[in-house]
């Protein structure tokens, strides 16, 4: 069924508030979740609500956090998110980095003691919307990714996002995991009862796993087998994705005081807060050169790439951000397609929260 964005937004916000989240944070979070679905990043939109509900029930997610500025200097800040959901604090941190960069040329803001914050690219784009370069990384809670030459998952999907403004094209918006696929995308395949492509997930012996349910179990049990790093095995460049994942872990958590999931899990004898770390960097191009000149040069790069001859005339060359914008144009008009399995879960979540289920009504 296709669901209209305004219906989904209203119901999601009501669920978050029923869980105890303040109205302002609920509006920000619901807006980011639905925007993610509009861009066809279905793995990080409202399909995350079942996981959030579980964390609320476990008591590991603080719906009324008191965020603390641990450090606040002219070109940097460190914020403790008080175990809150990541969306509101990520938005606050990125906008703070942008404000400081506008004053100082460059600025970095770190966040610790946070939770999942959705699609990384949305925060990098906040910088490009202001004429700045944005760079964002985040650690994750599930160590479902196998290090190169390993058999046990130890790293998260550890995403990276980068955005840059320009004049004639839309902003360049790269949003990627450092693994072949995000855990939540495997969940979307399970929702839709689809087999996984080969090369995404392997078992402890390195054999391909294409059953999405089995793959999810491997990721969450963390005993053997899991997702491959970006690039796959060593022969196809997987060591590069592995290196990027470690870089993200260092920037997002070692630098901010966030946790490393295998260490956290081995020390915990019960459910604990995820203590995810985020890193936000903003750069003002005008400290290097005139903004028009910079944006025109970015435009030239993107225009040359997009006008290049495609190998398949039915699949034109695109740049990062184009597929999501095209999907949004369709979904704003036609609605957001959702599987029956997800709709059943959303109805249950609404019922549990005492919120009217309004999708499709």
| CA dist., res. 95 & res. 105, Å (int) | 14
| CA dist., res. 185 & res. 176, Å (int) | 12
Return the number of other C-beta atoms located less than 10 Å from residue 75's C-beta: 15
Q: How confident is the model at residue 201 (pLDDT cuts 50, 70, 90)?
A: very high
DSSP, collapsed to helix, strand or coil, labels residue 277 as strand
Domain that holds residue 187: 2-289
Q: How confident is the model at residue 272 (pLDDT cuts 50, 70, 90)?
A: confident
Please report whether residue 336 resides in a domain.
Answer: no
Lowest mean pLDDT among 55-69, 220-234, 347-361: 220-234
Summarize pLDDT for 136-191 with one digit per residue, the tens: 999 998 888 999 999 889 999 999 999 999 988 889 999 999 999 988 889 889 98
Please report whether residue 219 resides in a domain.
Answer: yes
For the record, the structure tokens of 341 come out as: 């399995």
Please report whether residue 200 resides in a domain.
Answer: yes
Q: What is the mean pLDDT of the chain?
A: 94
Please report whether residue 333 resides in a domain.
Answer: no
pTM exceeds cut of 0.85: yes
Please report whether residue 41 resides in a domain.
Answer: yes
| CA dist., res. 143 & res. 156, Å (int) | 4
Q: Provide the domain count of the chain.
A: 1
Summarize pLDDT for 71-82 with one digit per residue, the tens: 999 999 999 999
Please report whether residue 304 resides in a domain.
Answer: no
Alpha carbon of 309 to those of 168, 299, 303, 305: distances in Å? 20, 18, 12, 9
| 211: CATH | 3.30.1370.60
User: Residues 54-83: what's their mean pLDDT?
Assistant: 96
Please report whether residue 250 resides in a domain.
Answer: yes
How is residue 253 annotated by DSSP?
Answer: I
Please report whether residue 155 resides in a domain.
Answer: yes
């Amino acid at each position: 069924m296709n669901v209209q964005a305004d219906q989904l937004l209203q119901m999601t916000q009501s669920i978050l508030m029923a869980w105890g989240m303040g109205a302002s944070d609920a509006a920000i979070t619901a807006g980011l979740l639905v925007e993610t679905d509009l861009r066809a990043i279905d793995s990080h939109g409202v399909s995350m609500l079942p996981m959030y509900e579980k964390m609320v029930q476990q008591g590991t997610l603080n719906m009324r956090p008191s965020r603390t500025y641990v450090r606040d200097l002219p070109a940097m800040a460190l914020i403790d998110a008080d175990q809150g959901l990541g969306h509101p604090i990520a938005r606050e941190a990125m906008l703070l980095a942008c404000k400081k960069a506008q004053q100082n040329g460059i600025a970095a803001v770190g966040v610790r003691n946070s939770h999942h914050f959705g699609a990384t690219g949305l925060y990098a784009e906040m910088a490009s919307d202001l004429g700045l370069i944005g760079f964002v990384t985040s650690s994750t809670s599930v160590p479902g990714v196998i290090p190169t030459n390993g058999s046990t998952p130890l790293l998260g999907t550890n995403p990276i996002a980068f955005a840059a403004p320009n004049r004639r094209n839309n902003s360049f918006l790269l949003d990627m995991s450092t693994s072949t696929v995000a855990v939540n995308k495997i969940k979307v395949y399970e929702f839709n009862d689809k087999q996984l492509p080969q090369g995404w997930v392997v078992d402890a012996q390195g054999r391909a796993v294409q059953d999405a349910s089995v793959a999810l179990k491997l990721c969450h049990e963390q005993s053997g087998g899991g997702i491959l790093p970006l690039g796959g095995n060593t022969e196809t460049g997987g060591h590069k994705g592995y290196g990027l994942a470690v870089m993200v872990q260092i920037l997002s958590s070692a630098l901010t005081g966030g946790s490393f999931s295998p260490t956290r899990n081995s020390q915990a004898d019960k459910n604990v807060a995820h203590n995810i770390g985020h890193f936000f960097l903003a750069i003002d191009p005008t400290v290097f050169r005139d903004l028009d000149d910079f944006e025109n040069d970015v435009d030239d790069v993107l225009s040359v790439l997009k006008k290049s001859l495609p190998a398949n005339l039915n699949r034109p060359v695109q740049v990062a951000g184009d597929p999501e914008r095209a999907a949004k144009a369709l979904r704003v008009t036609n609605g957001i397609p959702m599987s029956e399995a997800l709709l059943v879960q959303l109805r249950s979540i609404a019922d549990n929260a005492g919120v009217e289920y309004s999708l499709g009504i």
